[in-house]
């Protein structure tokens, strides 16, 4: 009964969010949906001498946005005046890993992104090195399946596992983050700071510092986050305290 109530609440909140988004892009197809900057990323010229890493997630375009988000990562080293962005995109080429596919902090086909990670300063150059190594080692550069994965959330979860210092906590509606092949049913959670057992991202359990306790059934995740107190729910992602990882390393 509690699970059904949580499902209904989460889906209702997701519908309300989708209605607001629909008003913003009414009468526009995906080709013309707004993708302009949101101003969430620091001006790279003003922050030229500072290394920065940020991770974003936004509801996917169309009806899928009721269920899932699309994440991406941006970074720059100290001394650089431009960001590099990486996503996994399921269309337009054999290699699904895309570099600089869109603006660093742009709307995702009309959807407002949420900032998941914001790290700046000393030590972040080394973090960028680890992130680039994780991107290179992503095991599914030529595969994409919206459900249960591998997909764009699988890609960011791989980076999170390989770079625990990133402090990445993908929301519960990041469908695909729990995808694991049969040969790797057990391993680190998507934050890299916990443990997970998962069967193709369709049935599993994660326990960790970032994600708290999270159950996965058919790609729908339920749980409790103790690090930043909140409920982890399908459709809407989470309800509770701000969970963005922010670090300014002086």
Percent of the chain with pLDDT over 90: 79
Q: Computed over its alpha carbons, how large is the radius of gyration of the chain?
A: 17
Long-range (24+ apart) CB contacts under 8 A made by 72-76 are 72/101, 72/152, 72/156, 73/131, 73/156, 73/159, 74/41, 74/104, 74/105, 75/51, 75/124, 75/127, 75/128, 75/131, 76/44, 76/51, 76/52, 76/128
DSSP 60: P
- The pLDDT of 148-166, averaged and rounded, is 98
* Banded pLDDT at 34 (limits 50, 70, 90): confident
Q: CA-to-CA distance for 102 and 116, rounded, in angstroms?
A: 18
Where residue 64 falls among pLDDT bands split at 50, 70, 90?
confident
- Identify the pLDDT of residue 5: 63
Q: What is the pLDDT of residues 7-23, one digit of tens each?
A: 666 776 667 676 666 55
The pTM (predicted TM-score) of the whole model is 0.93
Query: Token pair of 41, please?
Result: 């990323």
pLDDT at 1: 60
Assess contact for 159 and 168: CB atoms under 8 A: yes
Q: What per-residue confidence (pLDDT) applies to 145?
A: 95
């Amino acid at each position: 009964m509690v699970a059904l109530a949580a499902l209904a609440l989460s889906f209702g909140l997701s519908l309300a969010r989708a209605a607001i988004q629909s008003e913003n892009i009414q009468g526009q197809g995906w080709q013309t949906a707004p993708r302009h900057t949101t101003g969430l990323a620091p001006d790279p010229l003003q922050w030229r001498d500072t290394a920065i890493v940020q991770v974003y997630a936004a509801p996917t375009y169309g009806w899928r946005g009721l269920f899932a988000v699309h994440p991406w990562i941006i970074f720059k080293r100290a001394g650089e005046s431009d960001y590099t962005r990486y996503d996994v995109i399921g269309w337009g080429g054999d290699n699904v890993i895309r570099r600089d596919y869109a603006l660093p902090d742009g709307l995702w086909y009309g959807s407002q992104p949420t900032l998941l990670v914001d790290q700046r300063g000393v030590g972040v150059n080394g973090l960028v090195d680890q992130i680039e190594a994780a991107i290179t080692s992503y095991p599914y550069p030529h595969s994409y399946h919206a459900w249960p994965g591998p997909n764009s959330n699988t890609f960011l979860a791989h980076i999170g596992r390989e770079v625990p210092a990133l402090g990445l906590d993908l929301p519960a509606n990041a469908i695909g983050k729990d995808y694991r092949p049969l040969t790797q049913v057990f391993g680190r959670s998507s934050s890299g700071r916990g443990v997970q057992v998962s069967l193709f991202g369709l049935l599993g359990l994660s326990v960790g510092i970032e994600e708290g306790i999270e159950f996965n059934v058919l790609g729908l995740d339920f749980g409790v986050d103790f690090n930043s107190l909140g409920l982890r729910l399908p459709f809407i992602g989470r309800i509770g305290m701000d969970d963005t990882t922010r670090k300014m390393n002086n």
